[in-house]
Amino acid sequence: MSNVSYASTGRRKNAVARIKIFDGNGKIVINNKAIDEYFGGLERLKKVALKPFDFWNGRGNYNFYVNVKGGGISGQAGAISHSLARTILKLDEPSRATLKREGFLSRDSRMVERKKAGRPKARKRFQFSKR
List the domain boundaries for the chain. Answer: 4-102
pTM of this structure: 0.89
CATH topology of domain 4-102: Ribosomal Protein S5; domain 2 (3.30.230)
- Are the C-beta atoms of residues 38 and 31 closer than 8 Å to each other? yes
Question: Is 32 in a helix, a strand, or coil?
Answer: coil
List Cβ neighbours of 114 (8 Å cut-off, separation of 6 or more).
122
Tell me which amino acid residue 131 is. Answer: R
- Are the C-beta atoms of residues 11 and 82 closer than 8 Å to each other? yes
**What are 34-93's pLDDT values in tens digits?**
999 999 989 999 999 999 999 888 788 899 999 999 999 999 999 999 999 999 998 889
Residues of the chain with pLDDT > 70: what percent? 98
